[in-house]
Amino acid sequence: MRCIPRAKRRGPSSNAGGVITFWWSRATNPTCKSRRADSSRSPFPPKLLTVEAGHGRIEWRGIEVCDVSPSQMGFPHAAQIARVDRIRELTGGRQEVETVWIITSLTAEQANPARLLELVRQYWTIENGTHYRLDVSAGEDRCRVRNPVAATVLGLLRRAVQAEARDWIRRQPRIRDRTCPTFFARTARRTGAAIRLITHGIRL
């Protein structure tokens, strides 16, 4: 497998308007390991190192940050680049290694290494918190509607339902019921209540 970075663009990462773009490739890739010692991908001590234990694993995160200019990177508004190395110690002695590259328009004064590391972690909070509920629980990925008006209306309805789902989940006494799939399952069995929610704003 070739060591080719892949990019995902996300929305503004702070009130300052910075945008973070992620590149990542597995550090266990033999091609990546064979790079020259003076390459920017060669190992170096991180500016910040954190260690966490939980969910049956130990995870190490190290970040190294460098100030850059847009002309150096060929990337508009680039102010810093950073390399994040993640090492997960899994059960059975297994180890998982991943390297994440970041370009941001946030300056060192706006985001120090600790803040950048926090922003990287928030990426998964957004993915799991909003997109997963829409794509999986609300079935947006499975939707085959192609009419632009109908697709827009359905998208607005799904997002409106997410607000009701969060309110419903907070009111459930049993922990196992505090999930979006449970909310949709209960609502599917009470179509009358769902209609009253839309037309009269009655809580489910």
Give the residue-averaged pLDDT of 56-83: 90
Q: What does the mean pLDDT of the chain come to? A: 75
Say if residue 37's pLDDT is above 90.
no
Residue 189 burial (10 A CB sphere; 0-12, 13-18, 19+) = exposed
Judge contact between 151 and 145, C-beta under 8 A.
yes
Residue 165's pLDDT is what?
A: 85
Residue 83's pLDDT is what?
A: 92
pLDDT in tens, 131-163: 778 888 888 888 899 899 999 999 888 888 888
Say if residue 63's pLDDT is above 50.
yes
pLDDT in tens, 76-99: 999 999 999 988 888 777 888 889
DSSP 150: H
Judge contact between 104 and 82, C-beta under 8 A.
yes
pTM of the predicted model as reported, rounded to 2 decimal places = 0.47
Residue 46's pLDDT is what?
A: 66
